[in-house]
Structure 1
Amino acid sequence: MGRTDITDGLQVGTISQSVTIKIAKINLQLFADPDKTEKATPRKRQKAREEGQVPVSREFISGLGFLFVSTLFLFTGKQLLNALMNGTISTFEISDVEIRTFEDFLIYGVKPFTPAFLSLSFLVLSAALFSLIIGLLQTRFLFTLKPLKFDFNRLNPISGLKRMFSLRSLFELAKAIAKLLIVGFVGYSVIKGNFQKIMITADSSLIDGALLIWGTFTELIIKCSIALLVVSIGDYYFSRYEYEQSIKMTKQEVKEEFKEIEGNPEIKRRQRQIMMQYAMHRMMQEVPEASVVITNPTHFACALRYDPEKDFAPVLVAKGVDRVALRIIDIARENDVPIVRNPKLAREIYYTTELGDVIPEKLYKAVAEVLAYVFTLREKRETLK
């Protein structure tokens, strides 16, 4: 019995551990991508912008818009209220004799409310224009229809679960609760503070009662708009944080982007090797035309060409160290180019002169002595022949 219990316990423990690991993997897939640890590159941000992915807080737009309308309503609301009152009074003063057809009803029934309609239209258009400007400022005047395109990924149940259990959904729930509590508290505070004034309206005239209600209403919308603006500011910063998290990249994506921009490092390395081989081949082709090769004798080799009719000073046509130097010496021997051992001069030419350039002026004397020695040997050989 004891062995069986132990075995069963181990099996249960193993199963529960595997289930826990699977659940953890599912949670990672639903809530975050642990591989995306790198900040988005400028190219990634530009691509996201082209796709219409920019940090936008609709709550911030509506919060600022509501505050704007509330402030505007504070200055123009009395005109709207007076227009509504005058229109109502004018409507009740219309006699039956004046209204005989439907056209008469439109004229006498709608015309008194025209100033009220104009004031209300001004408020609505101002709010719409202000919200549009705030939205454009958030997106930095981005115009694109790509976010409106149909995407099959939106029908994916896994993507739906990600959105359902995402940090954004939790934040939206908390934001809705916060808005409800804040607006409720502000509304309760305003109504409680003005309760006595509201009760007086029952014994007041129409105009006095309307003014008392107007004062309470304006206080209510101003305080509510300020409270909602505070909530919307939090949503604005959260939207930016969420956007930064959504466009993060994996290290592999950063490497791939670098390859696209700078080119594949392996290909560039291969190109450099080919260019070096080509340059080396061209340099070796110049050695047979050299007048002399000055060596170290094995570590350095510099091939100089000097034609008094073409060159005003000796020109370095080839140089190298170690294996390249030995190769220059071998080619020089194969083509009967004089080889002179002068370690100090060979090192100075190698470090001070580039291929195709004339030697520095400070080396003229030393090189002239070498060339004079080479030309003397050449004349002796020609005389012996």
Structure 2
Amino acid sequence: MGSFTVCTASWRVLRRGNNSCCYKLNSFDLQLFNGEKTEEATPKRKSEARKKGQVAKSTEISGVFVILAAFFTLKLLGTTVYNELSRYMTGIFSGIFTADITIQTVQLLFWNVILVMFKTVLPILLVIMVISVFVNFMQVGAMFSTEVLMPNFSKINPITGFQRLFSKRSLVELAKAIFKVCIIGYFIYRFAIVQTADIPRLISMDLTDSLRLTGSLIIDLAFNIIAVMLILAVFDYFYQWWEHNESLKMSKEEVKEEFKQTEGNPQIKSKIKEKQRAIAMRRMMQEIPKADVVVTNPTHLAIALKYEKRMSAPVVIGKGQDFLAERIKQVAREHKVVVVENKPLARALYPVVDIGDVVPPELYQAVAEVLAYVYRLKKRLS
């Protein structure tokens, strides 16, 4: 038996020796078969994705502004929060050993806790909520989609989940997280080195000053970290926008198919137009017997005119050229409608009027002469 060798060049068979041959494969462009998505998403594709809740959105942007709002509000209301908490704690610890433990005192303690939380925490939570809604609105606009709330059992499929775990998106998110931790860690380290001289002073301070200095250092550190996170979040937003557009890209075949669905299949549209023309032609031919005169070229053009006293000017009820012109003249003769040969008038009328239009004023005189001739002819024949 001869030996077979597979090569990547052509499908030609080359004989070597007695029975051995070499099959060679032609190289070809795989892009012709894999439906590579190279076309920008159409407005319809983007609209459908938006209805499904698929939009370009960066959670980093939302998170950074929420943290910034929280610390900024805390910085503004820090003194008020501190005084409120210290007053509450002082009252609690000064009377905890003298008050009788009853249901009423426990209820009073509970409502005092609620009141303090309302005064200290609620303003910060309200600011965070408003900023969060505003930032998300600025990213995606007004959008409400119920599809993201529908259960999707493919998300709990272990095979699909394993594939998502090692997908390109997951690797990018992992790289972003590692990079963010390294950058933020470096800034924390640098801030700690700079503030090393102030930390020993906490030992010699009283509790109030020590807490105030500690809070100030924490807020300064937070703003430094937020500044770094904001820069990273801007880059993340542009990446999410790019990645979203890439995910919506379409293949040439998808664009063609969508065009067919949106605009209709060209063959079907052609048949519809053909039927519409046929219906319009039948309707026009039914009106020809009502015409007063048919003006001809005499062989290439034919225009059927009708005039009644209630009309402001004669009306075109039919027109055609070549074969259709012959058909109009034939129907006119069958129904004893006068056919008048007038080349200048036919050539002047045909390009400026459509079926249902009145004769333009500049052609009133010429049309009136033709109609007068027709009326005299009919009067003589009658």
Report TM bin, short chain: 0.7 to 0.9
Look up the SS of the partner of 1:320 in the other structure: strand
- What are structure 2's unaligned runs of at least 5 residues? 12-23
Look up the SS of the partner of 1:351 in the other structure: coil
- Specify the alignment match of 1:229 in structure 2: 230
CA contact (8 A) 2:301 2:325 kept: yes
Distance (Å, rounded) in 1 between the aligned partners of 2:143 and 2:335: 71
CA contact (8 A) 1:175 1:231 kept: no
User: Is residue 2:285 matched to residue 1:300?
Assistant: no
Distance (Å, rounded) in 1 between the aligned partners of 2:313 and 2:104: 111
Look up the SS of the partner of 2:347 in the other structure: helix
Aligned amino acid, residue 195 of structure 2:
N
Map 1:1-385 → 2, pairs under 5 A: 10=7, 34-35=36-37, 37-41=39-43, 43-81=44-82, 98=98, 101=101, 117=117, 118-155=119-156, 159-160=160-161, 163-305=164-306, 315-357=315-357, 359-360=359-360, 362-363=362-363, 366-367=366-367, 370=370
Change (3 A) 1:233 1:300: same
**Residue 51 of structure 1: CA displacement?**
2.6
| Cα deviation digits, residues 113-172 of structure 1 (max 9, x gap) | 888644245434543443344334434343444312211332456754653344432331
Distance (Å, rounded) in 1 between the aligned partners of 2:340 and 2:264: 45
- What are structure 1's unaligned runs of at least 5 residues? none
CA contact (8 A) 2:37 2:249 kept: no
Look up the SS of the partner of 1:127 in the other structure: helix
**Residue 205 of structure 1: CA displacement?**
3.0
Q: May I ask how many residue pairs the two structures share in their alignment?
A: 362
Distance (Å, rounded) in 2 between the aligned partners of 1:85 and 1:205: 15
**Residue 299 of structure 1: CA displacement?**
1.2
| Cα deviation digits, residues 190-244 of structure 1 (max 9, x gap) | 2111112212323333333333323322221221222222222222222233333
- Specify the alignment match of 2:16 in structure 1: none
Identity of aligned residues (%): 33
- Specify the alignment match of 2:18 in structure 1: none
Distance (Å, rounded) in 2 between the aligned partners of 1:69 and 1:131: 11
Q: Given the two structures, how large is their TM-score scaled by the length of structure 2?
A: 0.74
**Residue 345 of structure 1: CA displacement?**
2.8
**Residue 185 of structure 1: CA displacement?**
1.4
Look up the SS of the partner of 1:298 in the other structure: coil
Look up the SS of the partner of 1:198 in the other structure: coil
Look up the SS of the partner of 1:319 in the other structure: strand
Aligned amino acid, residue 243 of structure 1:
H
CA contact (8 A) 2:40 2:248 kept: no
Q: Which moved more, 1:136-145 or 1:365-374?
A: 365-374
Aligned amino acid, residue 329 of structure 1:
K
CA contact (8 A) 1:74 1:218 kept: yes
Distance (Å, rounded) in 1 between the aligned partners of 2:365 and 2:124: 93
Q: Which moved more, 1:180-189 or 1:279-288?
A: 279-288
CA contact (8 A) 1:70 1:225 kept: no
CA contact (8 A) 2:57 2:237 kept: yes
Distance (Å, rounded) in 2 between the aligned partners of 1:150 and 1:312: 68
Change (3 A) 1:304 1:63: closer
Q: Which one has the bigger helix percentage? A: 1
| Cα deviation digits, residues 250-275 of structure 1 (max 9, x gap) | 44544555555555544443333223
Distance (Å, rounded) in 2 between the aligned partners of 1:346 and 1:109: 102
Change (3 A) 1:229 1:336: closer
Distance (Å, rounded) in 2 between the aligned partners of 1:160 and 1:263: 39
